[in-house]
Structure 1
């Protein structure tokens, strides 16, 4: 299918409409003007015939022996002054007493349309063919003093002359119509050119494709995106932006004030200068906002804002930090086993075979026990990765890290990903490492089960415990009981937030001998069935 350009469509449509409209108007005005001219000529002929029929000199002339000698000069003078084609005065028998052609005087009137005036005394307009041709006539009877009809007056205008006058008017209207048509062509061309400029030279189907692509891109990105016009009215907003701002339904053509921190948007509208990575607080959320102006030549016609919740960025940073930590912990574990291999090599070189055997048996039994639990009873690789890293860290820090023999979990649901587990288990276990720091026999125990509707993780330590004053603030963002130049206070807060996102809870039991953190994660995701 051949696609017609917008320029051609507009030009063709406007020209067709203009031509049709001009044709209709020209035809209408031509018809009305022609009709008006004919009516005016007929009415003028009738009025003139009436006036002549009432002239005393004309009436008195009928009493003379030669009426034409008196009537002809009077009528001819009137005809020349009024522009009538002919004025004929005749008696009851239709004999002419006047005529533009004097040779026709005395002859019978032609046309056969005088009967109504002579017999019935009517005044009327008729069209008939006489000695001069087809004409529009006004007929009036002539009455004497007694009220008897003694003759008739016929005033006529040739139809040919009327048609010539109508043609002159049509010619003028055609010239005007032609000028209007040329003006419409120029206007249509300029209009199509202006529209093409406004659409940046794009055809409608190209604009439709761009609109579809823009919507697809807008709703596929993970950042919140919105745009406003020069008056601060929302032009578009993707679903992610609505989710972050807690908005439902359509907000198109709504003022941005009250829905989003609008100060950077108005500032960019005013200055035309973009702003990047501006941190703002909105409804208890910290968001990072970037604003870019929409420019039309030199004017700012709107602003596009992209934003993301700061906690999401922190979550990614924490995940990367955890991965880096696990990498370092595994490297430390490798280093420790390398040292043990060197020690074993030294025993063998010195001939201390019994000591070497004891060392190998001790390491083997410990590894076999831990590996049996981690690899045979903990079947989810994400949890295995975290536990292996923490076992290496415990070995390096001389902390006893026990995975309890009763632990057992199958493969975790897909909606629980590695970064979330890292934030939850990584932060809670790290918190336990910090709690047992400095104790005589630091012990951390880990337990996991997936019996029932929840997945349960339990981490206990024999550290110094948590004071009653700190318990209500334990999961507050920025709270920490550690001292030093760079206390963080984000670990347990991030862990609690992630658990809440998964629809779970964290319980803390602060006993005299140990502190226990228990995490409950539902197997089914929030808002839907398990995938």
Structure 2
């Protein structure tokens, strides 16, 4: 069984109509209550004022003490009653017996209602709501005092409830007309507002908008790129989990200015300008990022900008590993070519009869080769490090560089697969830098020592180059810093990023008598934590 969802326009119109009707109804109830109370109070005050006036008439006092003309007083009271619009004006003596009454048959009878005591006994003037002989009425009562101040009677001026209600209804008719006009205006306004909201939501219903929001959130969090968006004022409007992790910010950044969230950042500078778009490359928090900027437009006007970025450090490490493998292949071809030349030399020695020279040449080559092979394959257990050293040995041979391994080198622990790419980046770039440093020296030499006997892998690479000036050592690991002409200065920046992933450190010191020693310290116990961190990112 399928259910039909109400459209936003119908739902909005229905709810707003009900809300307006409820508000109007509540206002009406409050108005009725307040106005009726106010009408009763006003009529009561008018009745009391009339009673006070009657109580001061000398003829009334004389009639009560028996020295006045009672008929004349009755005619006068009738006239006052008509002028005041009262239903009745009753004068009673000290015992509450009527001296005047609109109904002459009631004269001489006791006043009813039970509300005369405050006036006759205590001398108070007041208003009351009581049931009289003519019906329920609002009455103003006051005592009549003789010249000596004694109470000789009471005046009761009454206005019937029907009269008060009729007075109230005259004002309520005008009020009801105004309420009806306001209600109709509210209906027209609610319809216009509903249509406006529908246009603003592109005709989508609330459940469709909710579904789109959920799908959008799921897609944003599922993408393997960091996403950061700002509005036309440079305030952050969107931020996914990967962006929070890479940029090291949290959910509180939403709604803040981008230059406050990422102060002194190239990303913030680009997101605050309309013109800058396209691809860019930066290093943020020691991570190399490739960022793509795209403008958000709304009706042809600038409405903000989106930055999507990828952490290229891991990808670059894989690229470097592939490059190293390709380089190994080239180095092996170079080594094959070199050994072919050496075989030709040995063949020439033998053909010329220089047997001793041939033997010496063979012993020198095989001795060096055997010693390095023994170190690499017997003392180095990690295959990644073995591959790096073999490749660099071949590369050194091609470049005519003396590349030696310290006989005391030993690596017994095999590193996990996720550490292979960072190791290639770290050791490979440091050794390549050492090769570049010794090019042009009389006897170019690079020495490598490795050990993991403690809790960390220690790699020392020493060269006899010209060394590194102290003035640039502090900036040596920043992207773009280099001591070589024509180079971009990415090598050591990548080494720093890869070391950060393995929680490693690097030290630089001067080599005697010339050159540089770079010492790498990579803790073995942190690799497992790095693996868990990478799994959480995925």
Do both proteins adopt the same fold according to a TM-score greater than 0.5, normalized to the shorter chain? Answer: yes
Q: Which residue of 2 aligns with 1:137?
A: 139
* Contact 1:46–1:137 (CA under 8 A) maintained in structure 2: yes
Shift of 1:43: 2.8
Question: Within 2, Cα distance between the matches of 1:456 and 1:119?
Answer: 113
Give the 3 Å change call, closer, same or farther, for CA 71–299 of structure 1 in structure 2: farther
Write out aligned runs for 1:297-336 (5 A).
297=299, 299-305=301-307, 321-330=323-332
Instruction: Measure, in 2, the Cα distance between the counterparts of 1:91 and 1:435.
Output: 131
Q: Which residue of 2 aligns with 1:479?
A: 483
Which of 384-393 and 198-207 deviates more? 198-207
Query: In the alignment, is the contact (CA less than 8 A) between 2:86 and 2:159 conserved in 1?
Result: yes
Unaligned runs of 5+ in 2: 345-358, 532-538
The residue that corresponds to 1:77 in the other structure is 79
* TM-score, normalised relative to structure 2: 0.63
**Equivalent residues in 2 for 1:417-436 (5 A)?**
417-430=419-432
Distance 2:472 2:134 in 1: 120
2:522 corresponding residue in structure 1:
522
Deviation at 1:426, TM superposition (A): 3.1
CA distance in 1, matches of 2:176, 2:21: 12
Aligned to 1:408: 410
> Distance between the aligned counterparts of 2:258 and 2:491, measured in 1?
39
- Mapped partners of 1:21, 1:282: distance in 2: 57
- Map of 1:355 onto structure 2: none
SS in 1 for 2:410: coil
Q: 1:119 to 1:335 in 2, by over 3 A?
A: closer
Q: 1:466: which partner in 2?
A: 465
- Matches of 1:280 and 1:119, distance apart in 2: 99
How much does 1:516 deviate? 8.3
Contact persistence 2:113–2:131 (CA under 8 A): no
Partners of 1:268 and 1:424 lie apart in 2 by 33
Q: What's the TM-score once normalised by structure 1's chain length?
A: 0.64
Equivalent in the alignment of 1:450: 452
User: Matched residues in 2 for 1:371 and 1:498: separation?
Assistant: 31
Tell me the equivalent position of 1:354. none
CA distance in 2, matches of 1:105, 1:242: 94
Per the alignment, residue 46 of structure 2 pairs with 44
Shift, 1:132, TM fit: 3.3
- Decide whether aligned partners of structure 1 residues 336 and 47 sit closer, same or farther in structure 2, where only a CA change above 3 A counts: same
Query: 2:286 touches 2:497 (CA, 8 Å); kept in 1?
Result: no
How many residues align? The count is 495
Checking the alignment, whether the CA contact within 8 Å between 2:430 and 2:492 is kept in structure 1 is: no
**2:380 corresponds to 1:378:** yes
The CA RMSD over aligned residues, in Å, is 6.1
Is contact 2:234–2:271 with CA below 8 Å preserved after alignment? no
Task: Sort the Cα spacing of 1:527 and 1:86 in 2 relative to 1 into closer, same or farther, 3 A.
Answer: farther
C-alpha separation in 2, matches of 1:454 and 1:122: 104
Q: Give unpaired runs (5+ residues) of structure 1.
A: 344-357, 481-485
Change in Cα spacing, 1:426 to 1:171, as seen in structure 2 (3 Å) is same
1:257-296 correspondence runs (5 A): 259-261=262-264, 269=272, 272-278=274-280, 290-295=292-297
